[in-house]
Amino acid sequence: MEAIITASRLAHDLTADGPPVLLDVRWQLSVPAAGGAPAFDGRAEYAAGHIPGAVFVDLDKELASAPGEHGRHPLPDLAEFGAAMRRAGVSAGRPVVVYDGGQGWAAARAWWLLRWTGHPNVSVLDGGLAAWEGPLSTGTAEPAEGDFRPVPRRTGLLDAAGAAALARSGVLLDARAGERYRGDVEPIDPVGGHIPGAVSAPTNENVGPDGRFLSADALKARFAALGASDGTRVGVYCGSGVSAAHQVLALAVAGVPAELYVGSWSEWSADPSRPVAVGPEPQ
């Protein structure tokens, strides 16, 4: 299965023998509303309507650990992650399709985690739920228990030291908006700017106006212009390892393997001893 799947192909596969497991990972980066309630509630969105058979997965609770010294969305405990995936029906021998509300960031985080922990067949629905033209369900799916057991790969994951080294020896892409990279604004983390040597590569430039990925050729040309091409060691970070997963996915579509710095800027900037660059140049 390819890294991304169209809605029409998904509709076909859901009616075929051995249909994929569907995971709904709707999530948005948001500030809690008055009273502490989340400004965006993915589970409520799921209950209001989802692709039939999809199981809701909570990014903050099942695809990440609690915020702390390793950032706002550090890696989840792998035993807990595996248990959550098995509850959702994920098995090693059955394809998985992940979607979100359309932005693609949360779906890409699930895609990356499953791929990094050994699942061989995971795709993201291109365009998310907004691209789906079939019926929606409001019932809660209750799949049979899966058998997936996460076994992390030895490659594909960067820590802070690895990200700093890669910025010097290869290509480290910063997937955040340009104003955060430059340090013009920083609405979330304690310090604005970027990891010295990192190249600005906003994630939103991976998709067109309809929210779907650019063609593989267009993505390949985009990343080549940034210095990232097959044969070059490439890493990606963002604010907390979510939108950067979307960048890793886009690179995969372009045929360029990339590593993810999960802690990202939320981990890097929390340590005042780490250097910070500002302005439009990598420095």
Same domain for 81 and 9, yes or no, is yes
Do 101 and 187 belong to one domain? no
Exposed, middle or buried, 18 (CB in 10 Å: 0-12/13-18/19+)? Answer: exposed
Residue 234 contacts residue 258 (beta carbons within 8 Å): yes
- Does 238 qualify as catalytic in the annotation? yes
In this structure, are 14 and 102 located in the same domain? yes
Question: How confident is the model over 208-230, as a mean pLDDT?
Answer: 96
Does residue 148 lie in a domain region?
Answer: no
173 is in which domain, residue-wise? 157-268
Q: For residue 31, count CB atoms less than 10 angstroms from its CB and return exposed for 0-12, middle for 13-18, buried for 19 or more.
A: exposed
Percent of the chain with pLDDT over 90: 92
Q: DSSP secondary-structure letter at 129?
A: G
Find the catalytic residue in 201, 238, 252, 260: 238
Q: Which of 198, 203, 248, 254 is nearest to 230 (CA)?
A: 254
Rounded mean pLDDT, 255-266? 98
Does residue 119 register a pLDDT over 90?
yes
pLDDT given at position 38: 57
Please indicate, yes or no, whether residues 120 and 54 belong to a single structural domain of this protein. yes
Domain match, 92 and 210 both: no
**What tens digit of pLDDT does each residue of 55-84 get?**
999 999 999 999 999 999 999 999 999 999
Both structure tokens of 8: 């029409």
Is the pTM value of this prediction over 0.75? Answer: yes
Residue 32, classified by CB atoms within 10 Å of its CB into exposed (0-12), middle (13-18) or buried (19+), is exposed
Write the pLDDT tens digit of every residue in 9-36. Answer: 999 999 999 999 999 999 987 655 455 5
Total domains, the chain = 2
pLDDT for residue 101 is more than 80: yes
Taking the CB of residue 147, how many other CB atoms lie within 10 A of it? 14
